[in-house]
Amino acid sequence: MRLYLLVFLFGVSWARGVDWSPNYEQPEQIHLSFGEKTNDIVVTWSTFNDTTSVVRYKNYGESEWQLVMGSSKVFIDGGQMKRPQWIHRVTLKDLAYDTRYNYIVGLSPAQSAPLSFKTPPAGEDWVVRIAIYGDMGVNNSMSLPFLLKDVEQEKYDLILHVGDFAYDMNEQEGRVGDEFMRMLQPLAASLPYMTCPGNHESAYNFSHYSNRFSMPGAESNLYYSFDVGPIHFISISTEVYYFTEYGLKLVVNQYEWLKQDLAKAASKVNRAKRPWIILFGHRPMYCSNSDDMDCSLEYTRTGYLGLFGLESLLQEFGVDLVIWAHEHSYERTWPLYDNQVYNGSYQHPYTNPRAPVHLVTGSAGCREGTDRFIKHPKPWSAFRSSDYGYTRFAAHNTTHIYIEQVAVEHAPGAAEGDVIDSFWLVKELHAPYIGI
């Protein structure tokens, strides 16, 4: 709902002037995400007093500001101090496609600087460009300056952060979460920042994650899906398989939801229109790191006693690409199902592959450093690197996806920001792998 109450609201905020405190009312930690469709943009931010949830915005070329109200919810950190903050959500609905907007969060004098984002083009037929990574902390966020530069150059339409934020958002009574979200603002206030939960978000039943991020669709943002260009993206929580103290019901609910979501995306009509199905979640189904037990635990892949395993769903519905993080490294697999390689052909493994391709990209940079690999890679492992970095993704059309890995600091002698790996995923037919 659009309200044109600008003058009135200015009046209210002045009238409250007596106990006005700029520090507590100032909007901060501003970030964007897609709403129910890609021309609905959700603006989320925090204040430390209860303030009006309002965003003003205008089309770049126009002079009229529109004013939109949303709502806020108090979020209380689970630590000893029970620190409160108000998390505000405003949805800018039915925006023009492929259009730059200016926006301002809050009301004078407690308002943000002018910010700006661009909506994606309409329909399916455009090149979707994404930065993808996981495991970025407030400290040692090695990739951040590179990402900022890329975002300034408008290299991406959105970002996927595949779990593990801040290290950890709940630390120091939630202040680490605040610091992280402030650090993210230059990225996340300029383009949709889409997420999934990681193990570092587990404190207080993932409440920092659920409260701070706004994701479309599902009743909780632990799992959801969204369409962008020729892609249906599915975000899942691998963590429901590990933090079972928060309820085994979450495993069952997610599994049932995922099956339905995949069936819908893979229906004849939808797949013809939007053929790529890409799933992302935090903990990999396959990795060959040496640091701990993580690469040998297979709960998400095979489930518990053969129940609720997710890999067979990837096969059944012909999921094209699966993206993980958690390991602080980069790893690309050959087309892979149940530990077997299913190359398209020996010469062109990624042209019409006969199984999903897996990527692990968790080396954005955090206080835990990077992870090493076991000496002898598994036959399914195609490329591995322990360099800090992130992934660039471009879905060119319904048949071609290009992926490259950027290293931001690696072997002595090599330049920073190098592309250390790249490949094309080519698919003329998007269908269940069974029988291919």
Ligand X SMILES: *[C@@H]1O[C@H](CO)[C@@H](O)[C@H](O)[C@H]1NC(C)=O
Using CB under 5 A as the criterion, which residues of the chain lie in contact with Fe ion when the complex forms? 164, 198-199, 326
Provide the token pair at 137. 């902390």
Closest CB 289 distance from Fe ion, rounded Å: 12
DSSP string computed for 297-361: --HHHHEETTEE-SHHHHHHTT--EEEE-SSSSEEEE-SEETTEE--S-SS-TTBS-SS-EEEEE
Tell me how far the alpha carbon of residue 376 is from its chain's centroid. 31
362 interacts with ligand X by CB under 6 A: no
If contact means CB under 5 to 8 A according to the sort of partner, which of ligand X, Fe ion, none does residue 326 touch?
Answer: Fe ion
Q: Between 5 and 127, whose beta carbon lies closer to ligand X? A: 127
- One residue of 114, 145, 247, 377 binding ligand X per CB under 6 A: 247
256-275 positions binding ligand X, by CB under 6 A: none
123: alpha, beta or left, given left = phi > 0 and alpha = psi -120 to 50? Answer: left
Q: Between 178 and 327, whose beta carbon lies closer to Fe ion? A: 327
Q: Between 49 and 102, whose beta carbon lies closer to ligand X? A: 49
Please count the residues of this chain forming the interface with ligand X, following the rule CB under 6 A: 27
- One residue of 87, 183, 222, 395 binding ligand X per CB under 6 A: 222
Tell me how far the alpha carbon of residue 421 is from its chain's centroid. 22
377 interacts with ligand X by CB under 6 A: no
* Three-class secondary structure of residue 392 per DSSP: strand
Interface with ligand X by CB under 6 A: which range of 70-78, 369-377, 383-391, 394-402? 394-402
Provide the token pair at 39. 């021309």
Length of the chain: 436
Q: Between 105 and 159, whose beta carbon lies closer to Fe ion? A: 159
Angle of helix 175-188 versus helix 203-212 axis, rounded to 10: 30
24 interacts with ligand X by CB under 6 A: yes
Closest CB 11 distance from Fe ion, rounded Å: 48
Q: Which residues lie closer than 8 Å to 375 by C-beta, 6 or more apart?
A: 290
Pairing of strands 100-107, 54-59: antiparallel
If contact means CB under 5 to 8 A according to the sort of partner, which of ligand X, Fe ion, none does residue 139 touch?
Answer: ligand X
| Residue with tokens 């989320």, as numbered in its chain | 44
If contact means CB under 5 to 8 A according to the sort of partner, which of ligand X, Fe ion, none does residue 171 touch?
Answer: ligand X
136-155 positions binding ligand X, by CB under 6 A: 138-139
Q: Between 163 and 344, whose beta carbon lies closer to Fe ion? A: 163
Interface with ligand X by CB under 6 A: which range of 96-104, 195-203, 226-234, 392-400? 392-400
| Helices marked H in 115-234 | 144-152, 175-188, 203-212
Nearest by Cα to 427 from 368, 356, 366: 356
- One residue of 264, 400, 417, 423 binding ligand X per CB under 6 A: 400
220 interacts with ligand X by CB under 6 A: yes
Per the DSSP assignment, residues forming a β-bridge with 241 are none
236 interacts with ligand X by CB under 6 A: no
Q: Between 177 and 344, whose beta carbon lies closer to Fe ion? A: 177
| Other beta carbons within 10 Å of 304 | 12
Answer whether the bond into residue 168 is a cis peptide, omega within 30°: yes
If contact means CB under 5 to 8 A according to the sort of partner, which of ligand X, Fe ion, none does residue 129 touch?
Answer: none
Nearest by Cα to 175 from 136, 213, 208, 204: 208
Tell me how far the alpha carbon of residue 237 is from its chain's centroid. 12
- One residue of 57, 146, 165, 334 binding ligand X per CB under 6 A: 334
Provide the token pair at 122. 């309409």
Q: Between 56 and 354, whose beta carbon lies closer to ligand X? A: 354
* Three-class secondary structure of residue 400 per DSSP: strand
Closest CB 328 distance from Fe ion, rounded Å: 8
48 interacts with ligand X by CB under 6 A: yes
| Other beta carbons within 10 Å of 309 | 19
Which string of x and - marks every residue 59-88 that binds ligand X (by CB under 6 A)? ------------------------------
If contact means CB under 5 to 8 A according to the sort of partner, which of Fe ion, ligand X, none does residue 199 touch?
Answer: Fe ion
∠377-378-379 over CA atoms, to 5°? 115
- Footprint of ligand X on this chain (CB under 6 A)? 19, 24, 48-50, 138-139, 167, 171, 176, 205, 210, 220, 222, 246-247, 250, 334, 341, 343, 346, 349, 367, 396-397, 399-400
